[in-house]
Amino acid sequence: MLSAAPRLRFSARLSRNPEAGSFQRADSWFSRLACEREYDLFTSLEPAECGRVLISRSQHYRLLGELVADTSRAFPSATCIVVRFLEPTLLSIPLPLLDPRVMLAHDARSVVALHQPLARDALILTIEDRFRRDNSELNDDSIEICAWGHCGVSAFESYVRATRLFAALADIRFSCVESEASRVGA
């Protein structure tokens, strides 16, 4: 039976664009602004913090596809890979996200909770990011990858460190829940 908390948890914050130095298609979904007043309103929605990372929607879907492909290779016995996916898109969804083991959901933890009664010795992995894709999003550029069920600590850490995304991350934290009562940071 899966526990209420993930056995292994990785969290970090995107500190730079993972594809820095390469040109990206501008695919933000902004409507045209008709007057100065609309421009002022739109810019007032931007977070006051500076230095935040902004990636395009096509980059976002590509990164998610790469993470899922890496996850599938690293954990071929995974029963399910749940990916936080917020909206339908006019862009093509990368092939790895269409794998039968992949579930796209708004709230990955809810999907895990639904699987708990069904999964005895299952390995379920969740990928939840909050990367900013346009200036009005209030996301915090964070990512969390969790393993629910049996998964080796060193295999999990090696998988995360081997992803292309890892080099663009900061505030990196690994944690392992050994039992319901104790949490150990790595």
Q: Report the chain's terminal Cα–Cα distance, integer Å.
A: 24
Q: Each residue's pLDDT tens digit in the chain (186 positions)?
A: 556 678 899 999 998 878 777 666 666 655 566 677 776 666 666 555 555 777 888 888 999 999 999 999 999 989 899 999 877 667 788 999 999 999 999 988 888 888 766 666 788 999 999 988 876 677 888 999 999 888 888 999 999 999 988 989 999 999 987 643 333 333
Cβ distance 109 to 126 under 8 Å?
yes
**pLDDT tens-digit map of 164-177:** 889 899 999 999 87
Q: How far apart are CA 5 and CA 18, in angstroms?
A: 29
Helices 153-162 and 57-74, axial angle in degrees (round to 10): 140
User: How far is it, in rounded angstroms, from Cα 144 to Cα 172?
Assistant: 10
Structural domains of the chain in order of their starting residue, each with its CATH number? 8-19+43-185 (3.40.47)
Condensed to tens digits (0 to 9), the pLDDT of residues 27-64 reads: 665 556 667 777 666 666 655 555 577 788 888 899 99
Residues 181 and 15: their CA atoms lie apart, in Å, by: 33
